[in-house]
Amino acid sequence: MQLERVLHSQGFGSRKACRIMVRQGEVTVNGDACDDPFAEFDTENLNFSVNGEPWRYREKAYLMLHKPANYECSHRTQHHPTIYSLLPYPLVARDVQCIGRLDEDTTGLILLSDDGQFIHRMSSPKWKVPKVYEVTAKHAVDEKQISDLVKGVQLVDEPAPIAALACKQISDHVIHLTLAEGKYHQVKRMVAAISNRVEGLKRIRIGELSLPDDLAVGQWRWLDEAALVLLNQQPKNERVSA
């Protein structure tokens, strides 16, 4: 692939802008300077840098982000900064999209991609990819409340009760709630339905992929092959416990 096409596909601007960057000496390929925008390269294992910033060619982008509180999962925000401001410009320019939004006050694991099939696989109700939330409740959670969450609670404007896949008690006020749906404010509404209130909410797992302990709040990283394998695995059976 021509170098200007490589840069364009990775979000570094229009082909004309990428051509100018190359001719101005802003690009190195596999450690060597290249000022020919039409030079051909094999994209497999292709590493390049733009103004000293290293990149690797990726046909599709697959990312995880540790979302902070007070950020919105939208390009057009109303009251808070967007999570896309936490990403490098080329990733935003190639139009990566978050998969399953989190409320502005909710933290934790978010996946992003520009692969339409992957986005559908992770977000479609058909696939029922489980998400695990760490819920900090205002009042102590008892066994009956946990039982009710798993059996199903009735929410306003829902025709039938909504049940969690699993609910595990971590401490008096903390539970891990596993859901397959992504309805509006679902966790908060379900907890309210058991006469309690969510004081803190964090998504800690999607499918079999957990939020890494070493991924700091506000940071992102590429999903490696091992992470993608985990996301494509059939979820393990959750054990409901109190």
Give the distance from CA 241 to its chain's centroid. Answer: 27
Question: Catalytic residue among 36, 103, 115, 142, which?
Answer: 103
R_g of the chain, CA atoms, integer Å? 21
Structure tokens at 190: 């379900």
142 catalytically annotated:
no
Of the candidates 203, 205, 207, which has an alpha carbon nearest to the alpha carbon of residue 229?
207
The answer to whether the beta carbons of residues 233 and 171 sit under 8 Å apart is: no
| 238 DSSP β-pair partners | none
First to last CA, the chain: 56
Task: Write phi, then psi, for 141 (nearest 5 degrees).
Answer: -95, 130
Of the candidates 230, 231, 152, which has an alpha carbon nearest to the alpha carbon of residue 193?
152
Question: Strands (DSSP E) along the chain, which ranges?
Answer: 27-29, 32-33, 47-50, 53-56, 62-67, 97-99, 107-113, 131-137, 166-169, 174-179, 198-206, 209-210, 220-222
**66-99 b/e with 16+ CB inside 10 Å = b?**
bbbbebbbeeeeeeeebbbebbeebbbebebbbb
Q: What totals of helices (H) and strands (E) does the chain contain, helices first?
A: 7, 13
- Catalytic positions are 103
